Structure 1
């Protein structure tokens, strides 16, 4: 029934990763459908090959990869640059399937097991692909290490020793009651029994984040839990499931099953559930998530409302946050970074320029120490990675435009001081025809104009004062930009009406085929700290962030007439940089 072929695809860093394709016999290639399978940690695509026939989904093509460092894919066994790099590998794998085999994302279902299930859940959360269904078998959100304080110890050792490897304690008899499959596990030379501590800690961090923020996964999801699992904990699996917002979700406990859920002796019980769930979702036409009004109703709205509500003045929490704010004001007398934040707002262009410079600029030792601690905050580290990702994507699509023989015309509608744009342009071999930077703040405009003069770019760059939410003003911009940037702006405003006004203006300004680079903030571990302790650039108001899921910001961009085609995210899972093309 199926023809099996083996291939490679080039991932985000140029590495060629191995995958298998099982193509169904069919009379027509119209409306093709696919199942993408992601294997357990330590294993490879061959360990999932039996599912192709056993799932009895004859109308689907099947694809299964060998994650980097596994099976026939390159890389040190059990290792990768980071867990987030493997998540991005999935993005490139699925995009490859879409492009090469002409299969739409909405006609794809994903099956992930154990570590593969965590990778799949993180990918769906961070990249918001519009796939039809997600089936997670025994997701390894929390691996049982059986040693007290093992995770804390591994974290400390990783800081002291750097990356090192841990050999899995898991024996084949702990995975499955299927004797033949257990013997195959023991004798398979492609199974990597060790995992790097970097990957293990990255898995834990991603799992914690995705379980806590599962309310931002908008895909029909089925979770299969093995009832006698010696390898992973059940509690976070159930917490994840309970937070999922999609009405089409299922939770199943398979009593007596060991961890290898899809390789168990009685796995037909699990496969029947997966088959029914997938077919039921494909029986109806695809419906993308409706998130244009997420600013008015939903989890992100409720959380922002909660952290902006004043605390009782006689409460311990109120006293704690008052003390925190007082400490920041005291620190600002020594630290240049805190002084800029207190004077102009911690979300201001001036603050961001300080963060981008990443220098200890205070004149005294105490201030330098405070500056160092301040600049090492996870949010500011993520901001600097966002800058790097923005520069990479700007260069990539600038070169694309110039390769077509077109003049490159860059626009940034809220550039702050413009440093990140000018840094990115400096890396282009061929300069753009024009750069137009705009910002609402006169202070930022003046600083940006000075930066342009310092870099002797007056002949091609100009900085103007302008409102990034004025539809008519944006639509009238000349020359019409074919590469527009909105970085760090939309995250500061909860109201989607403002974003619609801005995106509508940009859609009118950018010609067909032009690009929009936009940033998002999909999660933040310090959301309440920021709301309770830090001030905004808006007349000293509290800096309350309503975090938009990637699915929401993509929906707003698509509604305006664009289609997302590329994305990056930092390893912390906080800031995304995406590229959309004008339709």
Structure 2
């Protein structure tokens, strides 16, 4: 792994790169709320083994990046930061014309969906894992309270694998405190923005979700995915899986779904642009 620092919209953004000597494609991994890119080393290993060069930022206020912890006042700025990381990836592989994919988990799914609305003509495909998109009720429920309760994410809600919860609880780069009002307000605004932002056309999308996800319930995400990409989405729902399908007991199946999706897109890749895929 190589580490970079880029200048984001509100300070330094730490970026991890998992290199691949002769990549077939570029992948941006967009992490979720309160965590950091370093939790995706196993996914990155699968992707680099497949032939992808992988880049993953710690968002503002997360991991090793600058900013008050877990405070995001405008997700549009985070989308812009992710685009800066895409430019970094292109600079590491100049003149390659490699297809670019974005994989977004949870809050990262919201960021990735908005990225596709803003920069979809630069993408070959989009992967959404347990995405915060559509009808997610938590921000409205917490914002209605006078004081936001200090209830951190329960490690057991992430995966049936107890080692995942233990590692999460012991991770000093993970935020274990309460959600913060500015971030909740930004969530609510961006959920509306994505809902009103229209579909992303023929861009291929893979949606992965656990049907036992209590943090981002399946029905709410379904509504958002269907609005975003009604005709170009491949869906895989994992029975019994909790929030983090890439850290679940059957994560090998989730990894296989991703590589099959990449295979399908790359087989018909014809360069960037609105009509990048042969139909």
TM-score, length of structure 1 as denominator length: 0.44
Residue 212 of structure 1, CA deviation: 4.6
Query: What does the per-residue CA deviation read over 1:507-554, in whole Å, with 9 as the maximum and x for residues that have no partner?
Result: xxxxxxxxxxxxxxxxxxxxxxxxxxxxxxxxxxxxxxxxxxxxxxxx
In 1, are the aligned partners of 2:24 and 2:98 still within 8 Å (CA)?
no
CA contact (8 A) 1:12 1:92 kept: no
C-alpha distance in 1 between matches for 2:2 and 2:245: 26
Summarize deviations over 1:341-397 as a string: whole Å, max 9, x none. Answer: xxxxxxxxxxxxxxxxxxxxxxxxxxxxxxxxxxxxxxxxxxxxxxxxxxxxxxxxx
Decide whether the 8 Å contact of 2:47 with 2:54 is kept in 1.
no
Are 1:181 and 2:164 an aligned pair? Answer: yes
Larger RCO (CA within 8 A; separation ≥ 6): 2
Greater Cα radius of gyration, structure 1 or 2: 1
What per-residue deviation string (whole Å, max 9, x for no partner) do you get for residues 209-232 of structure 1?
313544245421111121001111
C-alpha separation between the residues in 1 aligned to 2:228 and 2:77? Answer: 25
Q: 1:228 aligns with which of 212, 215, 222?
A: 212
* Counterpart check, 1:289 vs 2:274: yes
1: CA distance, partners of 2:229 / 2:136: 25
Give yes or no for the alignment of 1:11 onto 2:8. Answer: yes
8 Å CA contact retained: 1:11, 1:93 = no
Instruction: Return closer, same or farther for 1:172/1:33 CA change in 2, 3 Å cut-off.
Output: same
In the aligned structure 1, how far is the partner of 2:270 from the partner of 2:226?
23
Q: CA RMSD in A?
A: 2.6
Structure 2 alignment gaps of length 5 or more? none
Provide Cα deviations, 1:92-135, integer angstroms capped at 9, x if missing partner: 22122223432767611111100011111011113334211100
- Of 62, 66, 79, which aligns to 2:71? 79
* Alpha-carbon distance in structure 1 between the residues aligned to 2:7 and 2:143: 36
> Contact 1:42 / 1:191 at 8 angstroms: preserved in 2?
yes
Q: Select which of 220, 242, 253 maps to 1:269.
A: 253
Q: Is 1:22 aligned to 2:7, yes or no? A: no
Partner of 1:131: 123
Whole-Å Cα distance in 1 between the matches of residues 128 and 99 of structure 2? 18
Which runs of 5 or more structure 1 residues have no equivalent in the other structure?
A: 158-163, 291-583
Contact 1:122–1:207 at 8 Å: present in 2 too? no
User: Structure 1: how far apart are the matches of 2:85 and 2:41?
Assistant: 18
| Structure-2 residue corresponding to 1:33 | 25
The answer to whether the Cα contact below 8 Å between 2:128 and 2:208 also exists between their aligned partners in 1 is yes
**Contact 1:185-1:191 at 8 Å conserved across structures:** yes
Q: TM-score, normalised by structure 2?
A: 0.87
CA distance in 2, matches of 1:23, 1:120: 22
For residues 181 and 103 of structure 1, do their structure 2 counterparts lie closer, same or farther at Cα, with a shift above 3 Å needed? farther
Number of matched residues? Answer: 273
Q: Does 1:191 align with 2:174?
A: yes
The yes-or-no answer on 1:113 pairing with 2:113 is no
Q: Give the direction of change, closer, same or farther, for the CA distance of 1:225–1:8 in structure 2 (3 Å limit).
A: same
Distance 1:207 1:57 in 2: 34
Question: CA 1:214–1:276 in 2, change beyond 3 Å: closer, same or farther?
Answer: farther
Return the alpha-carbon distance in structure 1 between the equivalents of residues 247 and 64 of structure 2: 21
